[in-house]
Structure 1
């Protein structure tokens, strides 16, 4: 099951790499990244509603979800994982133009791995708490360094460096969201229903953000006609289903590191296919990222914490 969870996390990273390209193109067509994110969440939400309604085992999770809320097995705030995803997307629109994509990526990954370490240590997600062992801590640190190396050819010091706190906090929210979605999946015994809750919450938050955006800047451009630009929501469904399953088996940190490794590798592959070339620093950073994820998965010999608070 651990190997299957690692494979699922790698698949999630690849889906995220392709989704970033698709949603980026959709945002360019709209002239507004928030509406691209809302479209992606909306497509994913509709797809999940159809699948959950058509799948008896997933549909039967609805009463278990209600019962878990009433009994206190899960708290309402533990169902807000989708809000973290919406905040992450919103932070892109707020800071990428000032920080640059490279600085945004490094700050976001740093926030995510630190958050995942703490979430696992506290035992917030499903399963037992996972201590901060030397291999896990070193793997997390190497991942941040490796991502920095991979994007170093594009990395520069922006005038508003303090804004890097925004993607760092948003990335920390993603680490928390993976564990929160895992809790919903464990309580409902359905990865599909947990993904549906995530998309529903995220869509609500993005609707609010888009309403504010319209009041501030006006309506975006007309929706594009190319159907390929609407695949982001489908890829998001794949991403959520795989991470909700994997986080229960291997914890938020290893899920995040594997996903980051596959995301960087997938992005490199897409760039190679598009341009036919690759920077040496990007290749080195990608290899180190994959090694860091593998290192974090190696037991260090420390006793595992087995009692939950």
Structure 2
């Protein structure tokens, strides 16, 4: 193979920068969905709009690519056989996450939401790995993974102790933790579904379809109980949450072969935690932690994630 015909590999530095960008997009998405929920006065309606727009985009993208169409064909043939029904439920966790953004972020801020999400995801991942739920089978709970999970949870405690403004109600602290556990379960479920359909795009369509259905039902119930929102916001940027979700999912699928799962996860956590602090510093929420407490909590949570996921090895004595 000549030098001209050899496929080019993305420089590792560029790939790592893009993983950080994924985390930044996730934090910005949380702020956008939170603002949309506050503007509408209904977090479920906001989440339904966000997820629905993402569904339209990912369906168009999947149908436009041969691998996406092939994945949908394998999906249709496998449902009820090699693909059991529970593998199609990963989108429910995404629906919970987006609904949580719309219900809490405008009040508690992106930083507290993010630290809670990371803590729940780390703790949930420990349990699910030990149970062998993911496609990689049983992963033992080692001391570093346990310590890392506890440090991530300690970040939430730091945020709660350093709160300012109005007191944060307990359910606004609990929802990000629950959403994080749901993301850990979703990742395991999506990994097993992707093994069957062979396409990340088809797997993403399943997630957005299930989440959109669940959020659509929740939005209808919410409107029936609380009434229709007075008016839709006119600012176009408030409707970018769904497209942002599609963008970082596609980028993740493209990067994972170059970076591996470890670097992809660490880079996105760096971007997520850093961007959440900046966003709250620019537009402080009415409740939530002070900037100093949020920064300290983010650092503790990030250290916990590093300890939990880096494969520490004991040095052999000569």
Establish whether TM, by shorter chain, passes 0.5. yes
| 2:295 paired with 1:283 | yes
Whole-angstrom distance in 1 between the partners of 2:16 and 2:84: 28
Normalising by structure 2, we get a TM-score of 0.77
Once the two structures are TM-superposed, the CA of residue 269 in structure 1 deviates from its matched residue by 2.1
Asked whether the 8 Å contact 2:29–2:245 carries over to 1, the reply is: yes
Query: Is residue 125 from structure 1 mapped to residue 134 from structure 2 by the alignment?
Result: yes
1:295 to partner: Cα distance: 1.8
Larger gyration radius, structure 1 or structure 2: 2
Aligned with residue 280 of structure 2, among 271, 282, 301: 271
Following superposition, the deviation at residue 260 of structure 1 comes to 4.6
Give the aligned partner of residue 178 of structure 1. Answer: 187
Separation in 2, partners of 1:130, 1:7: 29
Match of residue 33, structure 2, among 23, 34, 37: 23
> Is the CA contact (8 Å cut-off) linking 1:12 and 1:259 kept in structure 2?
yes
**What residue ranges of structure 2 are gaps of 5+ in the alignment?**
1-11, 285-289
Q: Secondary structure at the match of 2:79?
A: helix
Alignment counterpart, residue 220 of structure 2, candidates 203, 211, 217: 211
Residues 195 and 241 of structure 1 are in contact (CA less than 8 Å); yes or no, is this contact kept in structure 2? Answer: no
Counterpart position of 2:61: 51
Work out whether residues 38 and 203 of structure 1, in 8 Å CA contact, stay in contact via their aligned partners in 2.
yes
* Contact 2:26 2:272 (C-alpha < 8 Å) held by counterparts: yes
User: In the alignment, which residue of structure 2 is the partner of 1:77?
Assistant: 86
Q: Cα deviation per residue 1:170-190 (whole Å; 9 max; x = unaligned)?
A: 432221012112222222121
Pick the aligned partner of 1:64 from 63, 71, 74.
Answer: 74
Whether 2:224 is the aligned partner of 1:223: answer no
In structure 1, distance between residues paired with 2:176 and 2:81: 35
Give the distance between the partners of 1:83 and 1:293, measured in 2 at CA: 24
Corresponding position: 1:298 with 2:277: no
Alpha carbons of structure 1 residues 287 and 125: separation in structure 2 relative to 1, 3 Å: same
Superposition TM-score, scaled by structure 1 size: 0.79
